Structure 1
Amino acid sequence: MDIRQLTDDFAVSPQIDVAHMKEIAGAGFRSLLCNRPDGEEMGQTDYSAIEDAAAQEGLEIRWIPIVSGMVTQEAMSEFTAALDEMPKPILAYCRSGTRCTMLWSIAQYGRLDDQEIVSRAAKAGYDMGPLIQQLSNR
């Protein structure tokens, strides 16, 4: 698995599988947050299978599917609520981890310093500089 830590309480990962649940729970995660719609790619594990496996490991899980590049205000509100309400630490996943990092960055905008958001994302391998610049230009 390729888990990338953004904070002590939040990490992102590319697509996970049912076989990863013991490893995720063993790493101390208490919640999973799926930001990937079902059927986005051939061979992708459906959310319902992940949900069942997560429940068997005692993990809380939420599904906030985001079509790449199509973030709605409603989805953003649900994502922010999940960050605030779910037991921590949280592991969020999508196809590559980029979408989850983008959502986290938007949720943190105005809460954390812009440079800290960009720096944390960069340490995890994601470039959120253009996103933060776009948010700053609004």
Structure 2
Amino acid sequence: MRELPGDVFVTGQLDLMTMTALVEQGVMSFINNRPDNEAVMQPSADSLAAAAKELGVDYRNIPMAGGIPQTTLDASHKAFATMPRPIVAFCASGMRSAALWCFAHVDSLGVDGVLAAVTEAGYSLAQIKPMLEEFEGRNKGNG
């Protein structure tokens, strides 16, 4: 599990036992960025949502496969802005979750700031810098 600014952690696939242990350690919210059926024996988003509900914590399913549509960016921004902390976002390796965290925080931390944070956490996401710059520019034009 890798820590990002704002009491956010990103990691690979979670299972029900790991979610339970994390809630016992104080985690308040989960964001699932992994589409169903990417791997054999992968817990379904519905089963993870049910587990989160039973554990009394927030859960959002915001799967990311291939490109990053605006709806995914909007849902991620809203989730990171409104969910109780600490938040654990997960996918297969944590990379997609880290990328979505970058887009959700580029307005406040800037392109270099979000890339520095994920690099410090151990993710190499320099390839999304042009997309982050374009996204940041679009958002500044709307503000």
Q: Please tell me the root mean square deviation across aligned C-alpha atoms, in Å.
A: 1.6
SS of alignment partner, residue 95 of structure 1 = coil
Normalising to structure 2: TM-score of the pair? 0.86
CA distance in 1, matches of 2:36, 2:127: 28
Match of 1:16 in 2: 14
Q: What percent of counterpart residues are identical? A: 30
Amino acid at match of 2:123: Y
CA distance in 1, matches of 2:76, 2:14: 19
Match of 1:100 in 2: 97
Shift of 1:115: 2.6
Cα offsets for 1:105-131 (capped at 9, x unmatched) = 112223203332122101221012231
Q: Are 2:45 and 2:61, in contact at CA under 8 Å, matched by a contact in 1? A: yes
1:42 paired residue among 40, 43, 50: 40
Shift of 1:60: 0.7
Q: Are 1:105 and 1:128, in contact at CA under 8 Å, matched by a contact in 2? A: no
Amino acid at match of 1:65: P
Match of 1:4 in 2: 2
Over 6 Å off, 4+ runs: none
Which structure shows the bigger proportion of residues in helix conformation? 2
Range with bigger deviation, 110-119 or 72-81: 110-119
1:84 paired residue among 81, 87, 94: 81
Aligned residue-pair number: 135
Which 5+ residue runs of structure 1 have no aligned equivalent? none
